[in-house]
């Protein structure tokens, strides 16, 4: 059982996860930020590795990726920074990023290295189910890594079942079909969608992401899922001066 499974086994509501882009605003900040987030009370983290063409991201994360790349961030550099991760941080960690940098690094090597530095799960938005299942799943499984799939309001029930079968820690629900960085609008249809998912009684817990920005959208999301993820709003904070000292207040502001 990896750290993610343990977390979900011990706590199943109001889980707070934070996303940030490695290498932003500067190199050698990844573990500092992760440590500060753990101290502030975050339950698990997603560390993004940057890509030049992040099609699923809005302006905030696009910008953080650009800066991170200019700073020289890469998977190689990230794994170097993460060497000291597990001496300082104990909450579950996921890596999130696009497929091409992983493919160039080598998928098998990537999975091995991730496991070695103590990563628990991977989110690759543009790695499709078919390719995952038929070509790559063994690398994830052999290294004890959970692969996290996304589900949107347009995902069919049949496909959600399939995703549930392939998942081993949680399923990432998108509040709507959107790129990152837009506010969650809790319209009737979104509510219907969450209810539909709840009624499916999936094997895996669910966490809602994209568009969660503050305590009220966080609380709303937690009505329907085991927790929620904040990304762009936190990445904005990292662009401010003295961000490290603001992390505690940020996290407590989301989940008082």
Q: Which residues bind other proteins (CB under 8 A)?
A: 51-56, 58, 62, 66, 69, 74-76, 99-105, 125-128, 130-131, 149-152, 154-156, 159, 174, 177-179, 182
Contact (CB, 8 A) for 186 and 211: no
Q: Does 116 participate in catalysis according to the annotation? A: no
Catalytic residue among 35, 38, 43, 46: 46
Verify whether residue 57 is a known catalytic residue. Answer: yes
Tell me whether residue 75 or residue 91 sits nearer to other proteins (CB atom): 75
* Residue 166 burial by Cβ neighbours in a 10 Å radius (0-12, 13-18, 19+): middle
- Closest among 68, 194, 49, 220 to 125, alpha carbons compared: 49
Tokens in use for 128? 């499709």
| Closest alpha carbon to 21 in 69, 85, 91, 90 | 69
**Minimum CB separation from other proteins for residue 232, in Å?**
14
C-beta of 36: minimal distance to other proteins in Å? Answer: 27
Q: How far apart are CA 33 and CA 39, in angstroms?
A: 10
Instruction: Scan for tokens 């662009």, then name that residue.
Output: 239
Residue with Cβ nearer other proteins (41 or 59):
59
In the complex, least distance from residue 192 CB atom to other proteins, rounded to whole angstroms: 15
> Given 35, 38, 57, 81, which residue is catalytic?
57
**Would you name the residues annotated as active-site residues?**
46, 57
């Amino acid at each position: 059982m990896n750290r993610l499974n343990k977390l979900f086994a011990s706590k199943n509501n109001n889980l707070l996860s934070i996303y940030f882009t490695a290498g932003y605003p500067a190199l050698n900040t990844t573990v500092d930020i992760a440590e500060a987030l753990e101290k502030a009370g975050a339950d698990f983290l997603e560390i993004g590795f940057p890509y030049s063409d992040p099609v699923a991201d809005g302006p905030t994360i696009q910008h953080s990726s650009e800066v991170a790349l200019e700073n020289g961030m890469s998977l190689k550099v990230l794994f170097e920074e993460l060497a000291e991760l597990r001496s300082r941080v104990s909450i579950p960690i996921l890596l999130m990023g696009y497929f091409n940098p992983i493919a160039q690094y080598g998928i098998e090597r990537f999975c091995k290295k991730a496991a070695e530095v103590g990563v628990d799960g991977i989110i690759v938005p543009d790695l499709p189910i078919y390719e995952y299942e038929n070509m790559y799943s063994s690398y994830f499984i052999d290294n004890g890594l959970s692969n996290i799939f996304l589900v949107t309001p347009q995902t069919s029930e049949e496909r959600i079942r399939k995703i549930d079968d392939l998942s081993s820690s949680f399923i990432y629900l998108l509040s709507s079909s959107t790129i990152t960085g837009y506010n969650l609008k809790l319209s009737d249809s979104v509510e219907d969608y969450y209810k539909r998912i709840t009624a499916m009684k999936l094997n895996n817990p669910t966490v809602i992401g994209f568009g969660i920005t503050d305590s009220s959208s966080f609380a709303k999301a937690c009505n329907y899922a085991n927790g929620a993820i904040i990304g762009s709003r936190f990445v904005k904070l990292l662009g401010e001066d003295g961000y490290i000292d603001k992390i505690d207040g940020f996290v407590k502001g989301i989940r008082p």
